[in-house]
Structures are given as structure tokens and as C-alpha cells.
A and B are shown apart, each in its own frame.
Chain A
Amino acid sequence: DVKVTQSSRYLVKRTGEKVFLECVQDMDHENMFWYRQDPGLGLRLIYFSYDVKMKEKGDIPEGYSVSREKKERFSLILESASTSQTSMYLCASSGFNPGNTGELFFGEGSRLTVL
């Protein structure tokens, strides 16, 4: 089974702190994604990556950056956390193996609270 592991399920940070959210997948997937999920707003794509060291902005990249130094790991960085970034963060991966649907496999989520 594909496993997408997010390093922290719950975090509490202070305004202005630098925050790292880590995500690791074990299926050699090419694509990795970071979403945030908020009540009434649904899932919104922050950044995605189609290959190592490659990244593309999603719909709401402001205030975030990402790093993908290894194929299995995709990190989301909040350079200076703000209260508006309190949210559930979901990492996902997908691959282009022949015959697969390209479905997204999600991690369990990281609930971040910024005080």
C-alpha cells in the first residue's frame, strides 16, 4: 500500500516563527503536492512538484515555499508564520506508472495552529 507520512499531526507555533512541514512517500511517485483545507473553502493547492528540485505554484502560494531535494520528500516552509495560516495541511503524491489512474494519495494531515 502507498503510504504518505506527514511528520507532525498537530503543531502549535507563534506568529513570526519559521515552520517546517515534512512529507515522505514510499512509492517512488514523481508528483507531490501540498494543500491546505479550511472549513467552507475546501482544499486549496499551495505548491506542487513533478520532479526532484522542481516546483510550481498552486493557487495560494503566498507566504509559503517548498523544497524537494529527494524524490520521496517534499517539505512545506512557512518563513514567518501568521495567524491566517492556521489550517489543516495535507500532503499528497501520485505517480505515472502505466495502468494507474494517477490518483492522489493523501497523508493524514498536519493541523497547524499559529498563536
Chain B
Amino acid sequence: QKEVEQDPGPLSVPEGAIVSLNCTYSNSAFQYFMWYRQYSRKGPELLMYTYSSGNKEDGRFTAQVDKSSKYISLFIRDSQPSDSATYLCAMSKGVGGSNYKLTFGKGTLLTVNP
């Protein structure tokens, strides 16, 4: 079983739709959960960051972490064509020493159609 599983898509939605992106993981030691967004031919950039279980909201984006189910989600409300990108989940066991090493999902390609 892979440590982090993410549906690669591709996912195509109309503008204004609510988008749900998900990852599951197997290692209960993960405590820090992130979503990165990667535009075509660019490096990934951090979109959302969550520590342990719970929800975090930032504008149209909401990140959810359910540690009991080992499941994390990213919701995008009122999706825009500019949201078209690959979304990568990532997680780590800590922020010190080798615990900081991130484990990434393979990414989901999202296209938002005008």
C-alpha cells in the first residue's frame, strides 16, 4: 500500500462548480498536511497548510483533515478557470530533522471550463 494515494484525475468541471480533491494515507505518524498547486511548466506553490485534524478556510479554499480516517480533502468553491492546475497533497511527520521530509501524492489535474 502506498503511503499517500491521490486520484490523478483528470477532473474537468464548469466554471462556478464546487471541486473536491482528496488524498488518503496509511502512516498515522503524519501530522502536517499541505496542498500545493502547480501550474503548467511551473514549480509547485503552497496553497493550504493544516496541522493535525480539523478544517481551515482561506477564501474559496477549504482544507479538511480527518486523522481517524486518514483522509484529507481540499474544496474549491466557485471554481474559476484560473484554478486550472495540478493539485498535490503532501504530508510530513514533523518540522525538525528528517521528520520534515514531505511525502507527496501524485497530483490531480483539474481543468475549470469557462
**With A41-B106, A42-B88, A42-B104 given, is the CB distance from A106 to B44 under 8 Å?**
yes
**With A4-B43, A43-B88, A108-B42 given, is the CB distance from A102 to B104 under 8 Å?**
no
Besides A108-B42, A109-B41, 13 more A-B contacts (Cβ < 8 Å) are: A4-B43, A31-B100, A42-B104, A50-B97, A90-B43, A94-B100, A96-B95, A103-B34, A104-B36, A104-B44, A105-B46, A106-B43, A108-B41
Q: How far is the CB of A89 from chain B (nearest CB, A)?
A: 10
Mark out the residues of chain B between 68 and 114 whose CB falls within 8 Å of any chain A CB in the assembled complex.
88, 90, 92, 95-98, 100-102, 104-107
> What residues of chain A have their CB less than 8 Å away from a CB belonging to chain B?
4, 31, 40-43, 45, 48, 50, 56, 58, 90, 92, 94, 96, 101-109
Q: How far is the CB of B52 from chain A (nearest CB, A)?
A: 13
Chain A residues with Cβ under 8 A from B96's Cβ? 96
Question: How far is it, in angstroms, between the C-alpha of A108 and the C-alpha of B44 when the chains are bound?
Answer: 8
